[in-house]
């Protein structure tokens, strides 16, 4: 079943709201109007009946009553639709106004005074009766006033008829108005839809202006613009990444092709073929390392790297890595200094790879006859590992990009070191992130330091 559009649903809701308000208002007005007319009729009957009763109290004989009749005709004949009946002690009608009026058959005159209403022969009446008090010595005993309110009922029937017609017209008008208002209010959403449908790699820099966007939709549009910015940044990094991969693979593949073409250009001794194969093997190993590193980073980006959770003593792990690099350090006339202790939870192999990348970098850029410091600092809830080496200061504009793939702070080194593809720090950051840690770099006063922060092992907290 096809669902209604948001514009249609808002229009229907607006229409239902308007109809509900009109119905409640109409019913309230109908009830109040009826109540007002009823009170008005009661007031008229009470005033006329009170005046009639006062006039009758002075009629002690038939002659007095006859003398009072002109006054009664004047009093009771001034209101249209009003009929008056006066009864003697035997219940016989001795006065009517108008003269041809008939006593209503659906009312028991002897029921006493009070306000009442009834329907008779298609007409609706309201009446009020009054019995003169005993001892008044009046010739008449009671009076009945009847007010024909049929015109009121006709008025309410016509009012109700036009109300329902107005309600239907208002329903269609409110639905149309609601559709116009909803469509106008949802224009920013259509703008977002148009931008999204027209989105391509060449239009990721397009943004939706917030100037004419309603306040309720500004957060949505702002989030959409932020998403476009992230997509633009991710696409730019992906494009650069693809270009860097092609650049890094081009050199070893070109070497493989050149060596093979040279060897195949003429017949050679078997030793020449072997030398060429060994050279090709070095390039193939480099390609293999780049591919392995890229697969590792791809798994990291998709959250597929799940490190083991074992208690690791960082000092012991670092001492083992330093021992591995000791021979190379002696050749470069560089010494290591390790200080501090701390326990963290993590994967020993992955952490060894990350720290090894930092030590390898430090050895690469540390001048001879200097010391590489590896310091472990314990804080209340975290452990910080710092690898610091003297050397050329890295410019501040490069610090935020050191962990990008294939990035090198010194462009001159881009093709200078065939064993370094520029993925070591990116892999290190992925490993640290997988361990819920952080990594950053500081470089000043001819010294560069990489800092790793890890959550402290539970057994070591407190």
- Domain ranges in the chain are 6-159, 215-301, 310-460
- Tokens read off for 379: 């804080």
Q: What are the structure tokens assigned to 457, written together?
A: 């092992």
Q: Which two tokens stand for residue 410?
A: 């010194």
- Half-sphere exposure of residue 232: CA atoms within 13 angstroms, side-chain side: 13
Give residue 110's pLDDT.
Answer: 45
Q: What is the pLDDT of residues 415-436, one digit of tens each?
A: 434 455 567 888 888 888 888 8
Phi then psi dihedrals of residue 313, to 5 deg: -95, 110
Which CATH architecture does the domain made up of 215-301 adopt?
A: Orthogonal Bundle (1.10)
b/e burial code for range 268-294 (CB count within 10 A of at least 16 → b):
eeeeeeeebeebbeebeebbeebeebb
Sign of CA dihedral 218, 222, 227, 229: positive
- The answer as to CATH 2.40.110.10 being correct for domain 310-460 is no
Q: CA-based Rg of the chain, rounded to a whole angstrom?
A: 51
**Given this model, what pLDDT does residue 108 score?**
52
- Can you give the chain as a three-state secondary structure string? CCCCCHHHHHHHHHHHHHHHHHHHHHHHHHHHHHHHHHHHHHHHHHHHHHHHHHHHCCCCCHHHHHHHHHHHHHHHCCCCCEEEEEECCCCCEEEEECCCCCCCCCCCHHHCCEEEEEEECCEEEEEEEEECCCCCCCCCCEEEEEEECHHHHHHHHHHHHHHHHHHHHHHHHHHHHHHHHHHHHCHHHHHHHHHHHCCCCCCCCCCCCCCCCCHHHHHHHHHHHHHHHHHHHHHHHHHHHHHHHHHHHHHHHHHHHHHHHHHHCCCCCHHHHHHHHHHHHHHHHHHHHHHHHHHHHHHHHCCCCCCCCEEEEHHHHHHHHHHHHHHHHHHCCEEEEEECCCEEEECHHHHHHHHHHHHHHHHHHCCCCEEEEEEEEECCCEEEEEEEEECCCCCHHHHCCCCCCCCCCCHHHCCCCCCCCCCHHHHHHHHHHHCCCEEEEEEECCEEEEEEEEECCHHHCC
Domain boundaries 6-159, CATH class: alpha beta
pLDDT value, residue 198: 72
> How many angstroms separate the CA atoms of 423 and 456, rounded?
28
Q: Which two tokens stand for residue 118?
A: 């009834």
Bridge partners, residue 114, by sequence: 129
**Per-residue exposure over 310-335, b if at least 16 CB sit within 10 Å of its own CB, e if not:** eebebbebbeebbeebeeebeebebe
pLDDT at 50: 87
Q: Which residues are within 8 A (CB) of 343 and not within 5 positions of it... i.e. 6 or more apart?
A: 311, 312, 313, 314, 383, 456, 457, 459, 460
What pLDDT, on a 0 to 100 scale, did the predictor assign at position 416?
A: 38
**CB < 8 Å & 24+ apart, contacts of 60-63:** 60/137, 60/138, 60/139, 61/139, 62/139
- The total number of residues shown for the chain amounts to 462
Are 116 and 134 contacting, i.e. CB atoms less than 8 angstroms apart? Answer: no
pLDDT of amino acid 210? 75
Q: How far is 126 from 83, CA to CA, in rounded Å?
A: 10
- Residues of the chain where predicted confidence (pLDDT) is lower than 50: 109-110, 412-418, 461-462
pLDDT value of residue 100: 67
Question: What's the Cα-to-Cα distance from 147 to each of 15, 38, 128, rounded to whole Å?
Answer: 42, 11, 9
């Amino acid at each position: 079943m096809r669902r209604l559009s948001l514009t249609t649903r808002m229009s229907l809701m607006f229409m239902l709201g308007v109809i509900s308000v009109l119905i409640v208002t109409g019913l309230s007005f109908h009830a109040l109007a009826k109540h007002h007319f009823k009170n008005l009729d009661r007031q008229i009957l009470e005033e006329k009946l009170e005046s009639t009763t006062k006039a009758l109290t002075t009629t002690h004989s038939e002659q007095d009553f006859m003398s009072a009749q002109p006054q009664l005709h004047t009093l009771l004949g001034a209101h249209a639709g009003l009929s008056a009946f006066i009864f003697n002690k035997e219940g016989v009608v001795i006065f009517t106004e108008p003269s041809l009026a008939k006593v209503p058959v659906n009312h028991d005159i002897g029921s006493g005074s009070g306000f009442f209403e009834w329907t008779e022969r298609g007409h609706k009446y309201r009446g009020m009766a009054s019995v003169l008090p005993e001892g008044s010595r009046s010739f008449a005993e009671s009076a009945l006033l009847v007010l024909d309110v049929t015109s009121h009922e006709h008025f309410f029937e016509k009012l109700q008829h036009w109300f329902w017609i107005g309600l239907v017209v208002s329903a269609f008008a409110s639905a149309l108005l609601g559709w116009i208002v909803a469509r106008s209010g949802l224009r920013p959403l259509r703008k977002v839809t148009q931008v999204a449908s027209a989105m391509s790699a060449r239009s990721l820099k397009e943004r939706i202006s917030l100037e004419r966007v309603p306040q309720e939709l500004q957060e949505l549009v702002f989030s959409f613009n932020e998403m476009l910015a992230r997509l633009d940044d991710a696409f730019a990094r992906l494009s650069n990444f693809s270009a860097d991969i092609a650049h890094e693979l081009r050199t070893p593949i070109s070497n493989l092709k050149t060596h093979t073409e040279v060897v195949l250009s003429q017949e050679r001794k078997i030793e020449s073929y072997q030398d060429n194969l060994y050279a090709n093997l070095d390039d193939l190993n480099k390609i293999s390392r780049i591919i392995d590193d890229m697969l590792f980073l791809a798994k990291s980006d998709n959250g597929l790297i799940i490190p083991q959770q074992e208690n690791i003593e960082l000092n012991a792990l670092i001492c083992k890595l330093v021992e591995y690099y000791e021979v190379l350090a002696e050749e470069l006339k560089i010494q290591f200094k390790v200080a501090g202790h701390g326990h963290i939870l993590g994967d020993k192999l992955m952490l060894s790879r990350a720290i090894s990348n930092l030590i390898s970098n430090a050895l690469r850029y540390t001048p001879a006859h200097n010391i590489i410091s590896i310091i472990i600092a314990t804080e209340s809830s975290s452990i910080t590992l710092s690898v610091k080496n003297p050397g050329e200061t890295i410019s501040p504009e490069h610090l935020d990009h050191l962990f990008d793939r294939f990035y090198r702070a010194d462009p001159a080194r881009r093709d200078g070191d065939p064993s370094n593809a520029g993925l070591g720090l990116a892999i290190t950051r992925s490993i640290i992130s997988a361990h819920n840690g952080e990594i950053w770099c500081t470089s000043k006063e001819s010294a560069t330091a990489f800092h790793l922060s890890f959550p402290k092992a539970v057994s070591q907290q407190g």
